[in-house]
Amino acid sequence: MVKVEFLGPINQETLEIEANTLADVANALQEIEAVSSWLEKCAVAVNDEMTNDLNRVLNAGDRVSILPPVCGG
């Protein structure tokens, strides 16, 4: 199981899902109505490291963070 946490304004509790790669996480999240509309504009971190690789392998206990559009300052 990996943990998926939603940061900032996304109103969704942390999920625990079965996933071997980020592509599995993508498939799972696309099925969840409350989060699917966010995915197009969200970036992704695994264990606090930003990633662009959908084939990134995930291990049990990994933490996937979903980062919506930002505006600091």
Partner 1 sequence: MQGTESPSCLLFVVVDMELYHGALDVKEIFNRWLEDENSSNYGAYIPFVGTIRAEDNIEALSFDIYEPVLQSWFDSWVKKAESRGAKVKMAHAIGDVPVHTSSYISAVFSPKRRVALELIDEFVEDFKANAPIWKYDVIDGKRIYAEDRSTPMSGSGLLSQK
Q: What residue ranges bind partner 1 (CB under 8 A)?
A: 7-9, 22-23, 25-26, 29-30, 39-45, 48-52, 54, 65-73
Cβ-proximal residues to 40 (8 Å cutoff; 6+ apart), any chain: none
Closer of 52 and 60 to partner 1 (Cβ): 52
Dihedral angle, C-alpha 21, 47, 2, 24, nearest 10 °: -20
Please state the closest distance from residue 53 (CB atom) to partner 1, in A: 8
- Nearer to partner 1 by C-beta: 33 or 48? 48
